Amino acid sequence: MKLDHKTIFVQENDVGHRLDVMLQHRLGISRNQIQEWIRKERVLVDGTSKRPAYRLKMGELITVDVEESELQQTLSPDPQVAFDVLFEAKDYVVIDKPGGITVHPKRIGSEATLVQGLIDRYPEMQNVVDKDAKQKSEGDPHLRPGIVHRLDRSVSGVMVVARTQKGFEHLKSQWKSRNVTKEYLALVYGHMPEEAGEIHSFIRRSRRHQLKMVSDRTAERGGKEALTTYTVQSTWPAYQLLKIQTHTVRMHQIRLHLSGLGHPIVGDLLYGAKQPSSGLQNRIFLHAHRLCFQDVDSSPREFIAELPSE
């Protein structure tokens, strides 16, 4: 029996969920099967056997030993994945991504993802791949067909996805040359030091916490340059709503920059936010509001996704 040793880190959206329920969604396998693995101690949390009803905590490491035959072997379309379409073109589609769903899987057999809903509605998208992905050690490009850029799982808002290889190459070149405008809305704790400001640092992955990024003032430790600008839109006694632009593309850039100023985004437990107050949705309050790029015919395009009602 050949076992596949899987490791899963508990993220902010998983905190408080049952162990068996979280694994059911992550692995796309029945809860009965998950519970059987737990009983056989093929599932461990930080090296310890737990009950199926165990409630997960932030940053815990789950290890699962499964047979290759027990996992789904293809990226299958999923009509149950819901999203709103803002605009359709021959070479791309612009959507409003809901919060709480991962854009694409890291490996076959993980939870339902946005890309599975996309290929259900646009089957031609399955043939659109990043031809440079293997050179950049980013894993299997066939697990993210058409994906030009990503939003974190808990982040909602506007995304453009390629329907053709021509559209993908055209859009990807704009991301590489930074000829794209990306504007976000974020609700933060407290009041920013200025009504408008610029945050500049060098971002790298944390050596202590695999889920987190860290920010340095210089590039000495190997961080990549990151630039974020913001303006205050609205103010309340305990919060401010910010309009934010990213001028670079770094993992967790906005979240890390705002947390570094002592004003974490509401709901962002990974970067220092408190548990949300009653009346606030239990997820990060970060929304991709506006996206501007050039169409395949070089005409300018602008798309806006309004804040969700939640």
283: left (phi over 0), alpha (psi -120 to 50) or beta: beta
Which structure tokens are listed for 136?
Answer: 């950049």
Please check whether residue 241 lies inside any domain of the structure.
yes
Which residues partner with 287 through β-bridges?
156, 185
Which structure tokens are listed for 46?
Answer: 């930080």
Of 151, 264, 266, 256, the closest CA to residue 211 belongs to 256
pLDDT of the chain, 310 residues: tens digit per residue: 556 778 888 988 789 999 998 887 777 666 778 899 999 999 999 999 999 999 999 989 999 987 756 554 457 788 999 999 999 999 999 999 999 899 988 766 557 899 999 999 998 998 888 877 644 445 567 778 999 999 998 899 999 999 999 999 999 999 999 899 999 999 999 999 999 999 999 999 998 887 899 999 999 889 999 999 999 999 999 999 999 999 998 999 999 999 999 999 999 988 987 765 555 566 799 999 999 999 999 999 999 999 987 6
Q: Give the chain's domain count.
A: 3
- With 0-12 / 13-18 / 19 or more C-beta atoms within 10 angstroms meaning exposed / middle / buried, residue 257 is buried
Residue 7's CATH number = 3.10.290.10
Q: How far is CA 218 from the centre of its chain?
A: 26
Round to whole Å and give the CA distance between 156 and 73.
29
Amino acid type, 96: D
Those residues whose C-beta lies under 8 Å from the C-beta of residue 57, and which sit 6 or more positions away, are: 10, 15
pLDDT of residue 275: 66
* 27 phi and psi angles, rounded to 5 deg: -100, -10
Of 40, 39, 38, 32, the closest CA to residue 19 belongs to 38
Do 193 and 279 share a domain, yes or no?
yes
Residue 265's CATH number = 3.30.2350.10
**Residue range 84-127, pLDDT digits in tens:** 999 999 999 999 999 989 998 876 655 789 999 999 999 899 88
**Helix, strand or coil for residue 270?**
helix
H or E element at residue 288:
strand 286-294
Please check whether residue 41 lies inside any domain of the structure.
yes
Which structure tokens are listed for 191?
Answer: 């009041």
Which structure tokens are listed for 293?
Answer: 């790029």
Tell me the catalytic residues. 152
Of 257, 133, 123, 274, the closest CA to residue 203 belongs to 257
Of 7, 63, 89, the closest CA to residue 297 belongs to 89
Range of the domain at 247: 184-287
Please check whether residue 158 lies inside any domain of the structure.
yes
118-122 long-range Cβ contacts below 8 angstroms, 24+ apart: 118/81, 118/83, 118/93, 118/145, 118/146, 118/161, 119/75, 119/77, 119/145, 119/146, 120/77, 120/78, 120/79, 120/81, 122/93, 122/146, 122/163
Do 214 and 279 share a domain, yes or no?
yes
Please check whether residue 296 lies inside any domain of the structure.
no
End position of a domain, from candidates 70, 95, 111: 70
Which structure tokens are listed for 178?
Answer: 């930074």
Please check whether residue 159 lies inside any domain of the structure.
yes
pLDDT of residue 74: 54
In the DSSP assignment, the letter for residue 147 is: B
73: left (phi over 0), alpha (psi -120 to 50) or beta: alpha
Please check whether residue 299 lies inside any domain of the structure.
no
Q: Which residues of 88-105 are buried (b: 16+ CB within 10 A; e: fewer)?
A: ebebbbbbbbbbebbbbb
Do 171 and 189 share a domain, yes or no?
no
